[in-house]
Amino acid sequence: EPEVTQTPSHQVTQMGQEVILRCVPISNHLYFYWYRQILGQKVEFLVSFYNNEISEKSEIFDDQFSVERPDGSNFTLKIRSTKLEDSAMYFCASNSLGSTDTQYFGPGTRLTVL
Amino acid sequence: AQSVTQLDSQVPVFEEAPVELRCNYSSSVSVYLFWYVQYPNQGLQLLLKYLSGSTLVKGINGFEAEFNKSQTSFHLRKPSVHISDTAEYFCAVSDRAGGFKTIFGAGTRLFVKA
């Protein structure tokens, strides 16, 4: 069964550094998303991406964040200058045009900012 | 705007007892409803979903949920729980007007005791 993959599984970085989290959505999917889960809290929507542009973003997704689909397979989340409060699990998700009801989630990347 | 309320933050229950995890939602349009399970240090796994049709939805691992439009609820049930069901359970909602993004509840920690 096809699945969403994410790399790395765990990223440790120093405050102020840039990080790029990578995701490979399911190959025929067209909608892509990033979510965040701070330890012990609920999963929060960050951004959705369709047709090579952001379709919606939350208040959390400020100018420090950006997303990109650099090629036909990867979908990346960049945090330009990390803060301590960016420490969280980041989930990528995707769904297809014909099945917009169910998003398939990746296993997550745990980001730790020191 | 959509929102999801999970009424119990923690639910302790003995093994082989029945359990119900409560979820209420609000939305101005027709919605899709989901339950996800998250085991410790793992990603999100879809348990079941309601899109339309029969209000009783069966999912994996013996779970089921009932959609009640008049009460705007989507409670999750299992007639007999196992130790291995100990996990965090998230109720979630999405709709086409919301650009397909998923809004999650705060989660309910199910703790099954021997």
Q: Which of A94-108, B2-16, B85-99 has the highest mean pLDDT?
A: B2-16
How high is the pLDDT of residue A73? 87
How high is the pLDDT of residue A101? 65
Find the CB nearest B43 among A41, A44, A106: A106
Query: Which residue did the predictor score with more confidence, B41 or B66?
Result: B66
Rounded mean pLDDT of chain B?
90
CA of B95 to nearest chain A CA: how many angstroms apart?
A: 8
How high is the pLDDT of residue A99? 54
Q: Which of A30-44, A62-76, B74-88 has the highest mean pLDDT?
A: B74-88
Express as a percent the part of chain A with pLDDT over 70. 96
Helix (H, G, I), strand (E, B) or coil at A78: strand
A-B contacts (CB, under 8 Å): 51
CA of B90 to nearest chain A CA: how many angstroms apart?
A: 8
A2 pLDDT band (50/70/90 cuts)?
confident
Contact A54, A45 (CB under 8 A): no
Contact B52, B111 (CB under 8 A): no
A-contacting residues of B 52-81, CB under 8 Å? none
Mean pLDDT of B50-74: 92
Query: Does the structure show a pLDDT above 70 at B97?
Result: no
In chain B, which residue's Cα lies nearest the Cα of A38? B106
Rounded mean pLDDT of chain A?
91
Express as a percent the part of chain B with pLDDT over 70. 95
Distance of CA B14 to the CA centre of its chain: 19
Cα separation of B32 and B51, whole Å?
5
CA distances (Å), A9 to each of A69, A82, B26, in order? Answer: 19, 17, 34
Query: Does the structure show a pLDDT above 80 at A97?
Result: no
Q: What is the DSSP-derived secondary structure letter of residue A103?
A: E
Query: Does the structure show a pLDDT above 80 at A107?
Result: yes
Mean pLDDT of B41-58: 88
Query: Does the structure show a pLDDT above 70 at A72?
Result: yes
Whether B90 and chain A come into contact, CB under 8 Å, resolves to yes
Nearest 10 degrees: CA dihedral of B92, B97, B98, B104?
A: -10
A86 pLDDT band (50/70/90 cuts)?
very high
In chain A, which residue's Cα lies nearest the Cα of B33? A101
Query: Which residue did the predictor score with more confidence, B30 or B3?
Result: B3
